[in-house]
Amino acid sequence: MNIQKYLIIFLFILVVSACKKGFEGTSNIPAPPQTYMVVDKIERSGENRLTTLVEAHWWGISEGGIIKGYEISTDNQQTWQYTTKQDSSFLLKIPPGNDSADIAIYVRAIDHLGQVDASPASTLYPIKNSKPSVRFIFSASIAGIPSQNPTNVFPVLKYTLFGEDPDGEDDILNYELYLNDTLRAPFILPANTNSILMVSNNPKADSSDCKVFVNGSNNALTNAVFGLKHQSNNIIYIRAVDKALSKSNFTASPAVWVKKVSSDILLVNAYTSNKIFVQNYYTNNLAKIGITSFDTMQATEVIENNFTQLQPDFQAQNKAFAFFKKIVWFGDDATFSFSYGQRTSSDFFNNGGQLFMAVAINSNFDPLSNFLDWTPIKSLVNPPPASVFRVNINALVQPVNTGWPVIKSSAIIPSARPFEIQDNTGSIGFDSLYFGGIIESKAGQSPIEWKGKSAVMAKRFATSNNRTNFIISSLPLERFNGNNNIDSLFIKVFKEELGF
């Protein structure tokens, strides 16, 4: 009886044990993954060492698991970066002041359970530093349009530069800028610098420090660069510095003559022909009314297909015009004068500047262009079909206001363009100053006087104080002294309206 009892208990235990083992199952957790690289060390020495930009390849194996990704370290396992790639390029860092180093790249695999290889694979790379380099990029003539590399400017200097490093563009630490003297302490430019603009803080002095703008920004860097010489040639020296503190050779700019600003008045000669005659006309007649101190700029001077006095870009020219309080601008190419003035006069006007512009507008000027938006001209008046506008010799041009002289042409103006003035706004007003003198000419017919809108001179002024800040003439004034009274016109325009 007892034997049967014990046998039943034994069989019950066996059944329960079997059921429990089958229910719980067995453990199938895989071992941590293993990581491999092609080699563990690269043997190179001296000049045969690798550059700091290296390639690495790796893979992982997990028995019973799946490789999810990898972690990479290039700083002796201090930090790790995750990736799913099995190869990549790395810019290794040489300790500052050294020209070579042995740097290891460590890789450890991670499986789908988050298990990490506890013994990462590694390859030791013998690397050497390569010197960076930097060069200036200059404007080039394109399709017959002259380049803009000035040789004679007011104290604004603009340069575009390009730096590179065989070890990778991220290896450049900064640039060192020197103005005329490489024995000075360098001015440090950021590593991402691709253009530099230097603007004199004291343009009327013999020398000055300069505000520095980079990459087209209108916000200057905190520090100033020293050593700009006025009325003298200036040379810019620059070199690149990499993260290992290796420095490129100096690159020097061509010498540029920097003019000192001697007056508050600037004469902009934008004529392409008769330049000397027209400039003498303005300087002589300004002198007759007591205006004898002014600076000049030859905006269209071209030597060897290069503009010699235009700044390399609009930002730089804008800063140069802002040195002056008054500008007298005369030209025979309306497209050039209007488009260039539009893009380079904002700082000048924001500083309270006052502009007189006399530009002959020929029939080739596009009346639909937006180059007139910034002027007192709303739109040009177009002649009737098959007709042209012109001014004959001895034509009279009438003032709108009493007290202004009637002026008379002393030559034929073969292409003349009257205009409609802008509409007044709440803060800005526009007035016509002169009209008439225009005839309509059609082949095979006698010329007739133009009776339509015929404004040829107008002004823009602030309604708050009636201060005139812009006078425009579509007639070349040097051809309108037939009454020998141009001095009276100059007094009205420059003395009374513009406050010269």
Q: What is the per-residue pLDDT across 467-496, written as a single tens digit (0 to 9) for each?
A: 999 999 999 999 999 999 999 999 999 999
Q: What is the mean pLDDT of residues 197-222?
A: 97
Cα-flanking dihedrals φ and ψ of residue 169, to 5°?
A: -65, -25
**pLDDT reported for residue 232:** 97
pLDDT band at 27 (very low <50, low <70, confident <90, very high): low
**pLDDT reported for residue 99:** 82
**pLDDT reported for residue 444:** 80
DSSP 371-396: GGTTSSEEEEPPPPTTEEEEB-TT-E
pLDDT band at 370 (very low <50, low <70, confident <90, very high): confident
**pLDDT reported for residue 7:** 42
pLDDT digits (tens, 9 = 90+) for 272-311: 999 999 999 999 999 999 999 999 999 999 999 999 999 9
**pLDDT reported for residue 353:** 98
**Where along the chain do the CATH 3.40.50 domains lie?**
265-497
**Does 1 score more than 70 pLDDT?**
no
Lowest mean pLDDT among 52-56, 157-161, 175-179, 368-372: 368-372
Pairing of strands 251-252, 467-473: unpaired
**Does 17 score more than 60 pLDDT?**
no
pLDDT digits (tens, 9 = 90+) for 40-82: 888 888 778 888 889 999 999 999 889 999 999 999 999 999 9
**Where along the chain do the CATH 2.60.40.10 domains lie?**
34-128, 133-258
**pLDDT reported for residue 442:** 87
Q: Are 327 and 348 in contact (CB under 8 A)?
A: yes
> Would you tell me which CATH number, out of the four given (3.40.50, 2.30.29, 3.30.420, 3.10.560), belongs to the domain 265-497?
3.40.50
**Does 105 score more than 60 pLDDT?**
yes
Q: What is the third-level CATH fold of 34-128?
A: Immunoglobulin-like (2.60.40)
Q: What is the mean pLDDT of residues 7-34?
A: 54
Q: What is the mean pLDDT of residues 309-327?
A: 98
- Enter the tokens of residue 2: 């007892």
- For 236-248, letters b (16+ CB in 10 Å) and e give bbbbbbbbbebbb
- Enter the tokens of residue 247: 């420095």
Please provide the CATH number assigned to the domain covering 133-258.
2.60.40.10
pLDDT band at 23 (very low <50, low <70, confident <90, very high): very low
Higher pLDDT, 199 or 23: 199
Alpha carbon 56 to its chain centroid, in Å, reads 39
Q: What is the mean pLDDT of residues 164-183?
A: 92
